[in-house]
Amino acid sequence: MTMMATVAVLGMAALSAAPASAAPQVRGVHVYDYTDFEGPNTWLNGNVGQCYYVGSGWNDRINSARTESSRVVELWDNHDCTGGAIVVDRSGYRSIGNWVSAYRIR
């Protein structure tokens, strides 16, 4: 009976523990639908070094962006972080154009 209780407790602990290799997501870039950091907006977050598609709702729609941390973010032309890119920091980009499809936090 004690052995079963121990197994049950250990099993629950294993289910709730995060993998040791899991890196916490970091705040990425604040993107805006309009120029000059105006209009509908959202945060694009993720893991450092990983390429992310911006999603169908923001693809080719981002017109300005900035970070609010010491990190910089690459904004890419293609969904797989290829093609042309710009690097966004705290000062941001006030007028990007409708071409951003992916991002990578550095």
Q: Answer whether CATH 2.60.20.10 is correct for domain 24-105.
A: yes
Residue 58's pLDDT band (boundaries 50, 70, 90)?
very high
Higher pLDDT, 20 or 49: 49
Q: Are strands 73-76 and 26-34 parallel, antiparallel or unpaired?
A: unpaired
pLDDT digits (tens, 9 = 90+) for 2-46: 444 444 444 444 444 444 556 778 999 999 999 999 999 999 999
The residue extents of the domains of the chain are 24-105
Helix (H, G, I), strand (E, B) or coil at 29: strand
pLDDT for 24 equals 76
Give me the percent of the chain exceeding a pLDDT of 90: 75
Q: Which residues on adjacent β-strands are paired with residue 73? A: 88, 105
Which pLDDT does position 6 carry in this prediction? 40
